[in-house]
Structure 1
Amino acid sequence: MQQIARAVAMAFNTLPRTHRIMLGSLTAVTLAVSVWRPYVNHPADENPIVKTIEMDKNQLRKLLPEASEPLDQDTPAPEDDVPKDEIDEDVQNETGTHDYVVSSGDTLSSVLNQYGIDMGDIAQLVKADKDLRNLQVGQQISWTLTDDGQLQRLTWEASHRETRTYDRSGDTFKVSAEILKGEWKSSVLSGTVGGSFVTSAKQAGLSSGEISAVIKALQWQMDFRKLRQGDKFSVLMSREMMDGKSQQSQLKGVRLETGGKDYYAIRADDGKFYDRSGAGLARGFMRFPTVKQYRVSSNYNPRRLNPVTGRIAPHKGVDFAVPIGTPVLAVGDGEVIVAKRSGAAGNYVAIRHGRQYMTRYMHLKTLLVKPGQKVKRGDRIALTGNTGRSTGPHLHYEIWINNQAVNPLTAKLPMMEGLTGSERSAYLAQVREVMPQLRFN
């Protein structure tokens, strides 16, 4: 017996190091499985004896199938994808903050859930203020997240005059309200583009927040980086004045003339912007980046735990199980800002849609677009593959809104919807009132 053992040991030591590691790992796993839940057959006894071995959580994690997935490997940061320009530098959003205008059918739960905010936090918000169950179309809510995606603060503009703030305190939220008693006044600010739109708008009297609102309103119609010297703009702002200072403001309408053509965006009662005829300005998005819907192999989960380390390893998109070579489609009109190979992401493409939206497609086999290329909704941008840190052929797909990852399967995407019926009639009456005010100097 000793000679047999010695011969096996000598044979094992002559194997290459890689083979010794693989053989040793396989042996360890086999022993672990046999020890973990052995089955002993006793023919004389009808009832088999099953031995249960207690294991702690860390040991159990290592035996789960997910332990083989590279969960700790994060995707490239969005700020590394988006090329900075003067608009990004001069009009920056608060880090970790997102704002949302309430649409028809929205509830607090449906809005926050698409961003991966914990349902327990949503329940605590409603417990702190039951009025949150009755969000109204056109109202705005904004919230701030911590670095690990936890809700820190939520702000609700209940009316022009009242703003309610909900700050985290342990597992609950404390409510505070601010009621302003200033006087709302409308004013028209106009100017001519000089060096850049941002600089020219500030010279005309617009604040950074007001400039950001103008850019968002017209983001689907033009690229503000390509405005030329001599282009003109006119902005109608409603401001609440208190002691001679503006406390808050709301964009009512904007007109911009470039290349001899006028572009308008006028705010309706639902808080969204439309053109002069009541048509929607947003470019519609497709829900899925493929011709047909494929099985979801891994869901969006901003608080997913790595089964080996037990640490939070967010999954910022959705994985679709697709055969290698499946065409990948741009879900909306936009500009390709990344098309390259990048470590764990493998071959991947990032597309910027307007100023707020970005989509990313990873682990691709073949890239069909280049950075700077304009694409339309439904255009082929790549073929799926298994590149980068991937355990099998799949497509990893992400949607980012204001540099924050959202759930691609439930996110509220831009739709090319226009106003109809009585809503359109009321809007056109508002257009007739606003347009004459949007004059150039």
Structure 2
Amino acid sequence: MQLLPRSIALALNSLPRPHRIMLGSLTALTLAMAISKPFVYHNDDDGYHQKPIAKQILLDAQQVRSLLPEASEPLDDSDSPPAADIPKDELDDKTENEKGVHEYVVSTGDTLSSILNQYGIDMSDISALATSNSDLRNLKIGQQLSWTVNDDGDLQRLTWEKSRRETVTFDRSGNGFKASTEMLKGEWQDQVLKGTVGGSFVGSAKEAGLSNAEIGAVVKALQWQMDFKKLRKGDQFSVLMSREMLDGKSQQSELAGVHMRSGGKDYYAIRAEDGKFYDRSGSGLARGFLRFPTLRQYRVSSNFNPRRLNPVTGRIAPHRGVDFAVPIGTPVLAVGDGEVIVAKNGGAAGNYVALRQGRQYMTRYMHLSRVLVKPGQKVKRGQRIGLSGNTGRSTGPHLHFEVWINNVAVNPLTAKLPRSEGLSGKDLKDYLSTVREVMPQLKL
């Protein structure tokens, strides 16, 4: 340790005298600034200075955490999505859900809590629902849930289609929910509707007798195989709908299978007992998603929180994604096959990319240092779409990643993402039996 001061002294002595004077002056100035403590004084009524006044803001532990540099979302972030300019097409206008209404088909491993929690529903509401009907704790594959929320994201109503005939509705009542059951007595009938694409698929499907909801079901079933925007005049389709008829009117319907012929190529989607759609051989139609948009998993510096409170304003300022602490220049990957719908500088979002995967899924990648794709470009799962950075309204290098399902932001770390798995065993045997019954009805 004694050699270090001696080495520094020898180095200083070897410098020219003007350089030694300048270095000493800068050192003295730096020390003076570090020691000094500037204060703001307020004069009292007599004109004399009072003691220095400092404003004190008491924050709890959670608020202190949100002010750390690693919490990259700005404190003055608005409630609106940062990419409100994402283009919409005719299919969005005609088939999207009513505002505030969300739908979900129960799949393997789902629970009421895992489904609703990823959409930001309070655990107290989930618990109240389960208390009002214990059967909700044992959801079955293929059952459908739909729910509505108000502008604040609070759950107002949940509809549970237990079977084709039985529907249970839970309406908010005070601090809990009141359940009501409806048993439909209509007769279920299979109907085949066929048509030829003219000006647009939506218009042609309506002429064939499909409702907006049924058109949406067809689009979702085939969303991974084909782009409905690129259907040509003369393309053909055949749809098998199972409808419940009551007094000559359809009360509800369920898509059983669809056959689309476009450009001389045939596309099929047939519903299995689990509520999902598969091809003629039982292979999954969904394109599998990566869980993380990077080659390896990085530390999460800020979690998904749709009800995050702004520590300054006290208002809800949702954090609609997760932040990964990644070094600048880290390759950012598309988590699934899709189309680039936004690739530009987005102000607070910095350089960012938005991908549309199928018709239900959208992913966003923000604060990039460089964008490697262009709008309209098709990308594959695992393809590089940009390099991470620190652009836009950001307090440090990181990647902000979002997943949207049916225009609702969900937690990317827990959301139920598509997996390209097929059926096997008894499930496959039962499905192939269904295919043999449905295929002849879908002939064009």
Q: 1:72 aligns with which of 67, 73, 76?
A: 76
1:51-90 deviation per Cα after TM superposition (whole angstroms, max 9, x unaligned): xxxxxxx643698353476233137637724312111122
Equivalent residue number for residue 135 of structure 1: 139
RMSD between aligned alpha carbons? 2.1
1:104-136 deviation per Cα after TM superposition (whole angstroms, max 9, x unaligned): 221101111122211111000011111111111
Equivalent residue number for residue 344 of structure 1: 348
Equivalent residue number for residue 273 of structure 1: 277
Larger mean Cα displacement after TM superposition, 65-74 or 264-273: 65-74
State the Cα distance separating 1:231 from its structure 2 match: 0.3
CA contact (8 A) 1:67 1:308 kept: no
CA contact (8 A) 2:205 2:215 kept: yes
Q: 1:99 aligns with which of 91, 99, 103?
A: 103
SS at match of 1:405: strand
State the Cα distance separating 1:246 from its structure 2 match: 0.3
Larger mean Cα displacement after TM superposition, 137-146 or 66-75: 66-75
CA contact (8 A) 1:81 1:337 kept: no
CA contact (8 A) 2:293 2:334 kept: yes
CA distance in 2, matches of 1:318, 1:213: 30
CA distance in 2, matches of 1:157, 1:430: 22
Equivalent residue number for residue 427 of structure 2: 423
CA distance in 2, matches of 1:436, 1:24: 85
1:48-127 residue pairs with structure 2 within 5 A? 59-60=58-59, 64=64, 66-67=66-67, 70-74=74-78, 77=81, 80-127=84-131
Aligned: 1:333 with 2:337: yes
1:197-218 deviation per Cα after TM superposition (whole angstroms, max 9, x unaligned): 0000000001111110000000
CA contact (8 A) 2:331 2:384 kept: yes
1:251-307 deviation per Cα after TM superposition (whole angstroms, max 9, x unaligned): 000000001111000000000000000000000000000000000000000011111
CA contact (8 A) 2:283 2:422 kept: yes
CA contact (8 A) 2:39 2:53 kept: no
Give the TM-score taking structure 1 as reference length: 0.86
SS at match of 1:64: helix
Query: Which amino acid is 2:59 matched to?
Result: L
Q: 1:320 aligns with which of 316, 320, 324?
A: 324
CA distance in 1, matches of 2:215, 2:365: 31
CA distance in 2, matches of 1:333, 1:315: 25
Q: 1:186 aligns with which of 176, 185, 190?
A: 190
CA distance in 2, matches of 1:75, 1:371: 25
CA distance in 2, matches of 1:439, 1:205: 17
CA distance in 1, matches of 2:83, 2:99: 11
Aligned residue-pair number: 394
CA distance in 1, matches of 2:426, 2:231: 36
Aligned: 1:261 with 2:261: no
CA contact (8 A) 1:78 1:403 kept: no
Aligned: 1:377 with 2:381: yes
CA distance in 1, matches of 2:38, 2:196: 74
Equivalent residue number for residue 400 of structure 2: 396
Larger mean Cα displacement after TM superposition, 390-399 or 161-170: 161-170
CA distance in 2, matches of 1:65, 1:417: 40
Give the TM-score taking structure 2 as reference length: 0.85
Q: Which consecutive unaligned segments of at least 5 residues does structure 1 have?
A: 1-21, 37-57
CA distance in 1, matches of 2:103, 2:222: 17
State the Cα distance separating 1:167 from its structure 2 match: 1.4
Percent sequence identity is 72
CA distance in 1, matches of 2:151, 2:331: 34
Aligned: 1:152 with 2:156: yes
Shift of the 24–157 alpha-carbon distance from structure 1 to 2, 3 Å rule, reads farther
CA contact (8 A) 1:81 1:350 kept: no
CA contact (8 A) 1:79 1:403 kept: no
1:19-54 deviation per Cα after TM superposition (whole angstroms, max 9, x unaligned): xxx9558xxxx9759xx7xxxxxxxxxxxxxxxxxx
CA distance in 1, matches of 2:309, 2:38: 29
Question: Could you say which structure has the larger radius of gyration?
Answer: 2
Shift of the 326–231 alpha-carbon distance from structure 1 to 2, 3 Å rule, reads same
Equivalent residue number for residue 290 of structure 2: 286
Query: Which amino acid is 2:114 matched to?
Result: S
Q: Which consecutive unaligned segments of at least 5 residues does structure 2 have?
A: 1-36, 41-51
Query: Which amino acid is 1:66 matched to?
Result: S
Equivalent residue number for residue 173 of structure 1: 177
Query: Which amino acid is 1:168 matched to?
Result: R
SS at match of 1:80: coil
CA distance in 2, matches of 1:429, 1:66: 55
CA distance in 2, matches of 1:312, 1:301: 10
CA contact (8 A) 1:96 1:145 kept: yes
SS at match of 1:413: coil
